[in-house]
Amino acid sequence: MKIVVLDGYTLNPGDLSWEGLSALGDLTVYDRTPYDQVVKRLEGADIALTNKTIIDRAVLEQSPNLKFISVLATGYDIVDVKAARERGIPVSNVPTYGTLSVAQMVFAHLLNLTQHVAEHAQGVAQGRWLASPDWCYWDYPLIELAGLTMGIIGFGRIGRTTAKIAKAFEMRVIAYDAYIRDSGDPDIEMVNLDRIFRESDVISLHCPLTPETYNLVNAERLRMMKPTAFLINTSRGAVVNNADLADALNRGLIAGAGLDVLEVEPPAADNPLLTAKNCYITPHISWATRSARARLMQATVENVAAFIAGKPQNVVN
């Protein structure tokens, strides 16, 4: 089996090993692959692995040997799964590797918004505390999480883990999911979207990008939120209308946002969120702890091995 990894660098910048995959076939790993080189690099390949490199209908039509695609992520919108199905090519993903790391990032952003630890530490390093007339100082309101309401949109694995952590902070949790009616927890009420936006002090997004969730957070819904509320997005950038969120932040309609994803990644220089008030953006790294990437690597090896054994797993098409 000829196995080609189109964009392996983000999964393994050098701190993991490709040995598990190389034991399964003739392995070639590219750090990155521009779209115009995808077909050439997949020439003769039986198995393609991709993280964010697009494999669309045109690529599939020019890759007659391709038998299996394994996505190095949970989201698989970069593969034309319908076209793959038409050609009898199963597409697998890795659904669970990043749950703990993504939920952790939710609270990294939330605690940044409520405590501003880095900015206060930077002030101390710049001599602010040395010059303070008082024994302490703070530049931002300091907000306790206990008693606040967290609204979770998307109550799958990551949403549930986020809820568990929120409860440990003694937050009230409400949730919305288009497919789930019972949270399974007597302390967590499943509610409609309007209640999420109106009642929450913090909204955390954990839904996939679908036609139904595209720009789910828009000007109309942002106007429903409390002016003291925060929005956290670690799901997909296009779930949020970036221009509408920037406008809401700049007008003080909501208090702040912590984002690990944007509509276009890397962002264009004119993305209004880059300069919006009280908006903190990380470069899509919630999935990227070494522990999570190691789980992703192992699960990918298992996906490829299962396909070779004739029992493909985690198939999304």
Active-site residues: which are they?
236, 265, 284
d(CA 96, CA 299): 9
| CA distance between the termini of the chain | 22
* Residue listed under structure tokens 């999964």: 11
Q: State the DSSP code for 131.
A: T
Q: State the DSSP code for 79.
A: B
Alpha helices in the chain (DSSP H): 19-22, 38-41, 57-61, 81-86, 99-115, 117-125, 157-168, 193-199, 219-224, 242-250, 290-308
d(CA 270, CA 234): 21
Tokens coding 189: 């009420």
Q: Indicate the SS3 state at residue 82.
A: helix
β-bridge partners, 283:
none
The contacts of residue 63 (CB under 8 Å, 6+ apart) are 39, 42, 43, 45, 48
CB atoms within 10 A of CB 51: 18
Tokens coding 138: 């703070």
**Residue 229 in contact with residue 202, Cβ under 8 Å?**
yes
> Which helix (DSSP H) or strand (DSSP E) does residue 152 occupy?
strand 149-153
Tokens coding 192: 């409609």
Burial class (CB in 10 A: 0-12, 13-18, 19+), 275: exposed
The alpha carbon dihedral of 33, 38, 43, 49 has a sign of positive
